[in-house]
Amino acid sequence: MSLSQSHREIVENAIKAIHSRAFFAQYPESPKAYGEEASTEGLKLYNEQLGKKFELLKQQNPTGWIGEELSPYTMKPLGITYPTFEVDTLLVRAGRAFGEWKKVSADERAEVLIDALERIKNKFFEIAYATQHTTGQSFVMSFQASGPHASDRALEALAMGWEELKRFPESITWEKPAGKSTIKLQKQYHAIPKGVGLIIGCSTFPTWNTVPGLFATLITGNTAIVKPHPKSVYAIAIVVAEIQNALQQKGHDINICQLAVDSSDNLITKKLAEHPLVKLIDYTGGSAFGKYVESLSGKTTFTEKAGVNSVIIDSVADLAAVAQNLAFSVSLYSGQMCTAPQNFFIPEGGISSPVGNISYEDTVKALIDAISGIAKHPAMGPGTLGAIQSDATLKRVDSVSDIATQLLAPGKVANAEYPDARTSSPIVLEVAAKDFGIYENELFGPIVLVIKTKNTAQSVELAKEMAGKHGAITCAAYSTNEDTIKLIEEEMESVFTPVSFNLTGGIFVNQHATFSDFHVTGGNPAGNASFTNPEYVNKRFVWVGHRRNG
């Protein structure tokens, strides 16, 4: 089967964007782009699914049905159950399906997977409600992150894989002059996929962090088992169901892509990861389990783990604009993002600005006032902070309240629509530069640490040390001095950490643009992979060349 013209255009447009790094979105992020009735229909589907079995998957003969999802907004169980399967059953089915899928051309795989993305597009609103009520993201963020942004990331991985599979010719006639004669060989080049891929999802971004590895695995000819977090299944279950629909419609084994659901008291992740048939593992989550994944022998792993993200404030053009931008960055989804800033390095002598030196105290006050202003705003507060996904995150906020000087106490974020929502405004603590033991760890959630340093040179040194030892996915820096900007850039590059300089307005350090920004560099302890660069897809298959005389 060839790649249809409409789907070929989608792939080629994505490849152009990957090379140019310019703005491109196959799937617009505005909910209005999908029709007036789409939201109503999505909510209807969501409500109809509550309390019932999720029967859209095509996997046959489950051993049982389980589900433990709870809405952080209503604090009530969703009541949805999902089919469960024995680990060996999943792997035998994946292995059999691999025998077929590995022989399918790159064009036909792309045809199936783009068809799947087009099907997923029609489910964006149901996926949004599913994400909102399993993760605690606001509805708008849930729509954008789990819908169009996730699908664009999937397309990015798909397009990169398709291009890499086309890098070399399938066959050539090779001729070498040898005096009066010519040596002639027929050569063939085959991209051989590695086998079964396991994609381990996280609770906070169930599709955005899952689909890049999923689509990279599938486009390169491997089969996939998606193991979601047991408390955040619904959204990615819809995605897997639509991939299975696309596979079936094109006449392929639906077990090329399977969902593997477990429960908190009977986790199957390690059983899957350690199975000899599993050759590829994609993982998003905490560092401890990520290190375990990376330690498994005989596996090719792609990890995104915890990072300790820093903000370096040296000088500003407009402190109010900087404070507002950073306040939004730490408040967005209550800091439950791997890209959220945590450590704020500010010189004790203050920072320079067009209006003169601004003291350390006034700089910190501007930041605190901006954070407090968002949390207390009746509309902006709940819409920005959302809800807390896990009770463990809420307990973490409480547990750090006395480890340092508290500058801003956390509190409940009032939500008129969901008065019972599990929420917390950010806690802000002041830490001395010498207190490495406090700020060298990722404190996931709405927790901000202000670190008073001797000067900007020490701020940079500490931010660099944190990234090198413990990993960093992002770094924000503010300076009006070009030499300082260059210093920060070079120092953070040495620990493979990207820097966002002088962001104000509507662009935030948390956000990475598909087709333009690499997410995680793979160069520091925050993760060993980056989506999406060529290595992210190339490591999922091996080039094998054959030669034949004549």
pLDDT single digits (tens) 327-373: 999 999 999 999 999 999 999 999 999 999 999 999 999 999 999 99
The rounded distance, in Å, linking the Cα atoms of 145 and 29 is 9
User: Is 457 within 8 Å of 481 (Cβ atoms)?
Assistant: no
What distance lies between CA 460 and its chain's CA centroid?
Answer: 27
Which CA distances in Å does 116 have to 92, 248, 405?
A: 24, 11, 51
The rounded distance, in Å, linking the Cα atoms of 377 and 381 is 5
The 3-state DSSP class for residue 217 equals helix
Length of the chain in terms of residues written:
550
User: Is 115 within 8 Å of 249 (Cβ atoms)?
Assistant: yes
The rounded distance, in Å, linking the Cα atoms of 412 and 414 is 6
With tokens 């491997």, the residue in question is: 222
The rounded distance, in Å, linking the Cα atoms of 170 and 417 is 58
The rounded distance, in Å, linking the Cα atoms of 257 and 387 is 31
* Neighbouring residues of 223: CB distance < 8 A, sequence distance ≥ 6: 94, 95, 97, 98, 101, 195, 196, 197, 217, 255, 256, 257, 258
Residue 369, both tokens: 């006032």
3-state helix, strand, coil in the chain (%, to 5): 40, 20, 40
Element (H, E) at 152: helix 150-165
Residue 31, both tokens: 């909910």
Q: Note the pLDDT of residue 45.
A: 98
Residues forming a β-bridge with 270? none
Homologous superfamily of domain range 310-501: Aldehyde Dehydrogenase; Chain A, domain 2 (3.40.309.10)
**What does the H/E/C string look like for 53-103?**
ECCCCCCCCCCEEECCCECCCCCCECCCEEEECCHHHHHHHHHHHHHHHCC
Q: Where are the domains of the chain?
A: 5-305+529-549, 310-501
Q: Tally Cβ neighbours within 10 Å of residue 379.
A: 8
* pTM of the full structure: 0.96
Query: What are residue 456's phi and psi, to 5 degrees?
Result: -65, -35
Sign of CA dihedral 104, 107, 109, 112: negative
78-92 tens-digit pLDDT: 999 999 999 999 999
Q: What is the topology classification, in CATH, of domain 5-305+529-549?
A: Aldehyde Dehydrogenase; Chain A, domain 1 (3.40.605)
Per-residue pLDDT of the chain (550 residues; tens, 9 = 90+): 679 999 999 999 999 999 999 999 999 999 999 999 999 999 999 999 999 999 999 999 999 999 999 999 999 999 999 999 999 999 999 999 999 999 999 999 999 999 999 999 999 999 999 999 999 999 999 999 999 999 999 999 999 999 999 999 999 999 999 988 999 999 999 999 999 999 999 999 999 999 999 999 999 999 999 999 999 999 999 999 999 999 999 999 999 999 999 999 999 999 999 999 999 999 999 999 999 999 999 999 999 998 899 999 999 999 999 999 999 999 999 999 999 999 999 999 999 999 999 999 999 999 999 999 999 999 999 999 999 999 999 999 999 999 999 999 999 999 999 999 999 999 999 999 999 999 999 999 999 999 999 999 999 999 999 999 999 999 999 999 999 999 999 999 999 999 999 999 999 999 999 999 999 999 999 999 999 999 999 999 999 999 999 7
